[in-house]
Amino acid sequence: MHTSHQALPWHASLRSDAAQALGRVLRNENGVCRNSQLLGAVTGAVSGGLGMLAGVLKSSGNWPLAILASVAFTLAFLGLMGLAWLRPLWFSGRPAVALSALTGGLAAALGMTLGLSRAPVGHGLPWREQMDGLLTAARIGLPMPLLLSFALLLVVILTASQRREHMARELALAQSRADQEQAKREASEARLRLLQAQIQPHFIFNTLAAVQHWVDTGDARASPLLRQLSSFLRGSAELMLRPQVSLAEELSLVQAYLGVMQARWGERLRFSLDIDAACAAAAHLPPGIVLSLVENALEHGIAPTLNGAELHLQLTARPGGGWRLLVEDSGVGLAEGWQEGLGLGNSRARLQGFFGERAALQLSRREDGPGTRVCLQLHTGDGSERTAEAPIQPT
Amino acid sequence: MTTAIRTLIADDEEGPREQLRAALQRLCPELDIVAASRHGVDAWDDFLEHEPQVCFLDINMPGLTGIEVARRMAATARPPHVVFVTAYGDHALAAFDAGALDYVMKPVEDARLAQAIERLKTRLHQPAPDLQALLKQLLPMAASAAAVPKPRLIQASLGREVKMIDPQDVVYFESDNRYTRVVYDGGEALIRTPLKELLATLDADLFWQVHRSVLVNSRSIASAIRVDENTMQLTLKGREEKLPVSRQFQGLFKGQ
């Protein structure tokens, strides 16, 4: 990567990346592909070095110079390839252009020097002949250095660009993995929140206080309340662990909850259910959403009333496919300037993730009297096909 | 023999309320439970009627939360000693450990309740501490099931007409147990809402309760006249009638 995480100076981070890369090669971690690139680079470097050795030897007969040149070339080539690999961004775009210009310039200078040393141009000659002389020198001296340097540059830049593509691919892969992880985490968090909401102390301890009292006084209401409470807690724990449940299962959980609340509140909670059983069995959705709508109706709609209110639940199949669930209460209704809370936002997000645009959740004031009306609709299908194709399945 | 200690309990759910009553009667028979209120509004009204010395208040109640009720109680001439009853320990409750207030968790346990009663008894011989500041702090922490006071129009039916009255225009409300008289700029009307329910929905800074059955728009008050040791009266701007201020609320009118 271009910059290391710990903000080391560039040479330190370069060294550390090089060490890591070398280590991976030595441990043969990256498979044949990467190692063949390394093999290519080494071969190129070595043969280039040998060529350089032969060439310099032939032209100057000087062994030390030849060896020096050859070693210098080999190391420089390997170094350049290494840099291209570790820091591809230094060899792309504008830096690449600058590098090419620089290389070209240097090679030309070297070439001209060599050419002029072979075919010197006298200074006293008229300018046209000087030009000719220069051209000759260029013809002699330029081709090889230019060819060589641009060949090298090409190899280095190609390596860098290939490495950059590779890094981009890895980044995309990591990103998509991160997105999946994120989605999984969000789903788990949502489930945890729901579970926590279910087990909220206020709910538990108020219910237990009622049970305690009725047990102490031998009141017959104790037993059914305890049964409803167990059934609710067990049901919510089971359902929350699954990615989706049938509406029938969700509604039976809702009924256990309502049973507990009615035992506690007595006359202050009156409720009625009108459920199309076939529709409920066939429809599927993420668990806990309908329950949280009912909890909201009780907590924000009915609890604040002094004398209690009614709750009505209705599930009907839509004629063109899909279903409609209504949760209506005759409580205090939505306040002026009321805003959606986190719970509703979370429910919407989960519905969106499961149904896409096909599901709609709407809250409004009731038309015939005080209270709130919540309408959850699925437009087509029953959601069951979603099980086969849901892209993200939290486990 | 200790005289009976007038006690009020309030909880919106029957189970916890009766459980507390039974436990209190078992642990401390001197406690004379004068009222078992079903919600904050009733708790406040019952307090005004019976003037208990000790109040056990559930925090989450409709109408007025336990903390709101405690605040109003603390502002009267003889504030009671308050013990909050709550479903779970909150870090906010650390504030209670200042000793000024006490709390018990529900379902109530005998040992803890007995401890609270002991503390109460020792404190009964001292005046109740000034809880206003502490209660103000706790107010936002009561995740309140109480409805937010809505400044809505008052609807009073008058034969075939339904008059829409803006609370701002009301001079005072006066009630008996069944009806409340709404006296406003422009006339008078009767509504069925008892005063105790009204006051939970009105802005407490604008409307002051000066008597169990009188709620007055503070902007309409001209002056408060002390007639004798126990009696005080209010005069109103631009009107002739005088409103009584009961002993509990006379502390509202002090010179600066």
Enumerate the residues of chain A whose CB falls inside 8 A of the CB of residue B15: 206-207, 209-214, 264
Residue of B nearest to A333 (CA): B147
8 Å CB contact of B13 and A202:
no
C-alpha–C-alpha distance, residues A248 and B70, integer Å: 45
CA distances from A185 to A108, A175, A190, A343, A346 (A): 59, 15, 8, 17, 13
Instruction: Cis check for the bond before B107: say yes or no (omega within 30 of 0).
Output: yes
How near does any CA of chain A get to the CA of B63, in Å?
6
CB A286 within 8 A of CB A350: yes
Closest alpha carbon within chain B to A216: B19
DSSP class of residue B151 equals -
Q: How many CB pairs under 8 A join A and B?
A: 71
Give the A-side interface with B, CB within 8 Å: 201-202, 204-214, 216-217, 264-266, 299, 303-306, 332, 335-336
A 10 A CB-CB count for A227 gives 14
Q: What is the ipTM of this complex?
A: 0.72
Task: pLDDT tens for chain A, 395 residues: list them.
Answer: 444 455 678 888 888 888 887 777 777 665 555 667 777 778 888 888 888 888 877 877 778 888 888 888 888 888 888 888 888 888 877 888 888 888 888 888 888 888 888 777 777 778 888 888 888 888 887 888 888 888 888 888 888 888 888 888 989 898 888 888 887 887 777 777 766 665 677 888 889 988 988 998 999 989 999 999 999 999 988 998 888 999 999 999 999 999 999 988 989 999 999 999 999 999 999 998 999 999 999 988 999 888 899 999 999 999 888 999 999 999 988 877 778 877 788 889 889 889 988 999 999 999 888 999 999 999 875 444 443 334 444 44
CA-to-CA dists, residue A125 to A112, A117, A121, A132, A138, angstroms: 18, 17, 8, 10, 18
- Give me the residues paired with residue B222 across strands: none
Contact A213 B13 (CB under 8 A): no
The amino acid at A326: L
CA distance A333 to chain B (A): 10
With CB atoms and an 8 Å threshold, state whether A209 touches B41: no
C-alpha span between A262 and A105 (Å, rounded)? 89
Q: Cβ contact (<8 Å) for B62 and A303?
A: yes
Whose CA is closest to B42, among B146, B196, B167?
A: B196
CB-CB: which of B105, B106, B145 is closest to A303? B145
Q: For the whole model, what pTM was predicted?
A: 0.62
